[in-house]
Structure 1
């Protein structure tokens, strides 16, 4: 379907050889448009002219600053998935603050207004509220650095969403219960996560070319884009060697196609529900579990961080929480054992007609 663009002037001119040449201009700016009408090149040229008009009209506002930021290297260097979520957050910021003058923003007294907006959003969606104000804070920080504003009113703020899952670890009984009900495709995903400690997004797109028979090489899709080399355990090697190669990616959906994130989440959730695991464990918690497995194998914190991609501080935090939890479990187990023995002795004493022994 051909899109009819408005605001275009068409000019016809006769050339020296008598032929007629047609030129197209963006009416508001007088910008000459390139390409033939209806072609992608022409539409891009028109959109660029429209954007330049909007930029000129919004100069000195938050909307203008956001647009400038989105044309900077700070934006283009973000991972594609990060840009996608950031664009969604910035759209909400534009809708609320787009017309606000930068002279108002840079006044320290503007801070309460931004915090009130954040608090209102956080009443229903605390995590989303943090993401939106956090993204706007990055734009303001970029604006300060580039000299567009003198002060960032939300350089720091109290987060509404708090989630510390450092102590959430998949215990052996959890893994066994999950694998008992999961499909082969889901079980392989768990195996890769447990034995490499990598993020879900990296594992779902991991190609077979990343597996050389002895190790997995992962290019992280996080902003660091770091390359991680993970030698395979015997269990992981056996699983990968036995896995059928039905697509370019190692992990595939039941029908053999690469996973779509939503579909993977659905099947993973179904398997988790069927496992009847009482704890609130997530796929992401397998990364922390991998940290503990490596530690139990004798790896140092720097060695663990090299494989999983955690910072050394966060890896240590996971281990500290894990050790605290296992100590609690051990104490609970001993208490139950003592209670069992006491009850058994009491029962024997009653049967024999004698006194109970401690």
Structure 2
């Protein structure tokens, strides 16, 4: 019986005498494996290499990083969040895997971690904050369980300051995009604008999730289940769209999107439409804003988008509504109607 070894890396090289040889490694960059693939010697060497790689000695940061990834807290994350966390944990391991846990209580340790974040920030301030936040979260988890004696990363603030207060798609942005974008991307735009869902969830959304009246899905990041009633304009588009794949959204050729492929096509369409300063992700916040402008309560908005009530409130308060002039006009008209003793205009 042939045994499939996960992560096995094969490299073929041509020698100076013209012969071709193949080398096998436990993983990319890992130790070379002796013997023929599938032989007892080969499998034993592979298992030994994997065991050494996964073993984390007590007393160093790598141990708590691995323990966290085996915890129920980590298991409870959505699949997208798990992938994002693992990516950041690998960054932490690359720098601090052998960092002694006993040194966490040393006041100088905080400075070491913040200096690391500052180095990451030279490439991306947002990713630097994300990596640092994951480290702080894991240390907090470890501290609560008595695995470490201190969390030097708590309350460190951020190096990235979001400017998303202005990042709302306006009616002019929408009109420009809808006039220039191809039909398959117009459908993506309308799905995001009318459902308030994340890009990844919409790209994976199957036709079976749409029953003609609602779209039902489980969000990949949070695991929240949402049922979104379909607005008339979106329903017209959906019902007129030919089913060419399992997923609702497809490429121009009718195949399911990859995330990188969609982002590239989206950037091209936005540029062609002359729309600047907003992203696909901003459609999620724009959906929240427009629902609020329509006098929807925070609970109603959360039911559609899958946000928590707290997050809806935070979005409305801090990021979007302060810059939406339509709210100001609506507020003044309501006050005028109230003081005149007439019915509040719709």
Runs of 4+ in 1 over 6 A off after TM superposition: 4-10, 38-44
Moved more, 176-185 or 84-93: 84-93
Contact 2:216 2:228 in 1 (8 A): yes
Aligned to 1:303: 300
Give CA deviations for 1:27-73 in whole Å, capped at 9, x if unaligned: xxxxxxxxx74799868744553346x42xx3211122222222333
Equivalent residues in 2 for 1:46-61, closer than 5 Å:
46-47=48-49, 49-51=51-53, 54-55=55-56, 58-61=57-60
Aligned to 2:6: none
TM-score (norm 2): 0.77
Q: CA deviation at 1:251?
A: 0.4
Aligned to 1:144: 143
Rg larger in 1 or in 2? 1
Aligned to 2:182: 183
Stretches of structure 2 that go unaligned for 5 or more consecutive residues are 1-9, 11-22, 330-346
Aligned to 2:285: 288
Equivalent residues in 2 for 1:4-23, closer than 5 Å:
none
Aligned to 2:3: none
Where 1:147 maps in the other structure, the secondary structure is: coil
Query: RCO higher in 1 or 2 (8 Å CA, sep ≥ 6)?
Result: 2
TM-score (norm 1): 0.75
Aligned to 2:172: 173
Q: CA deviation at 1:328?
A: 9.7
Give CA deviations for 1:284-311 in whole Å, capped at 9, x if unaligned: 1111221232233332121111111233
Contact 1:130 1:161 in 2 (8 A): yes
Stretches of structure 1 that go unaligned for 5 or more consecutive residues are 11-35, 331-358
The answer to whether 1:275 aligns with 2:264 is no
Aligned to 1:121: 120
Distance in 2 between the 1:68 and 1:79 partners?
Answer: 18
Q: CA deviation at 1:264?
A: 0.6
The answer to whether 1:193 aligns with 2:192 is yes
Distance in 2 between the 1:192 and 1:210 partners?
Answer: 13
Aligned to 1:29: none
Contact 2:165 2:323 in 1 (8 A): no
Q: CA deviation at 1:260?
A: 0.6
The answer to whether 1:266 aligns with 2:264 is yes
The answer to whether 1:96 aligns with 2:95 is yes
The answer to whether 1:225 aligns with 2:223 is yes
The answer to whether 1:68 aligns with 2:67 is yes
Distance 1:8 1:127, change over 3 A: closer
